[in-house]
Amino acid sequence: MANRHPLRRADRRLRPAARPVRVPWPPHGKVEAVARERTSSACPDDAPLVGPVRTCVGCRERAAGRELLRVTAGSDTHGQPAVVPDPNGTAPGRGAHLHPTSECYDLAVRRKAFTRALRARVGLSSAPVGDYLAHIDTASRPTD
């Protein structure tokens, strides 16, 4: 009974041994201790809300001022009173803040929140902000 076939042995030797790769893994307790140490140490870069906290006039949620788009009362390209985007936050006068998303923009338009937040005596056209958001929306959208 020659069940050890020579061909079979050769075949076995040709194949690279599929050895499990051993990854050195520290004991569980040690890993936990390291993780706890990292989360407890106060890292200034991780602070989510630094600087001024503003309320979005659309969804009414509070967020760091730099996450929101500042808008001010100004005039559109036709000289009509309008809400205009102030991405640099440098325009003088009263400003309102908004998440730079079409969702929050739509909410703000529906509630007439811009006019109220900017204390405008007349209704403001919010088209410039809508145009601005549509522009940055298409610029940041992945092309697929």
* Residues engaged in binding Zn ion (CB under 5 A): 56, 58-59, 99, 104
Task: Report residue 75 as tokens.
Answer: 């005039």
79: left (phi over 0), alpha (psi -120 to 50) or beta: left
Residue 14 identity: L
Task: CB nearer to Zn ion: give 62 or 135.
Answer: 62
The distance of closest approach from Cβ of residue 25 to Zn ion in the complex, given in angstroms and rounded to an integer, is 44
The answer to whether the CB of 96 falls within 8 A of the CB of 117 is yes
Task: CB nearer to Zn ion: give 59 or 91.
Answer: 59
The distance of closest approach from Cβ of residue 141 to Zn ion in the complex, given in angstroms and rounded to an integer, is 19
The distance of closest approach from Cβ of residue 48 to Zn ion in the complex, given in angstroms and rounded to an integer, is 16
Task: CB nearer to Zn ion: give 54 or 99.
Answer: 99
Residue with tokens 């697929």: 144
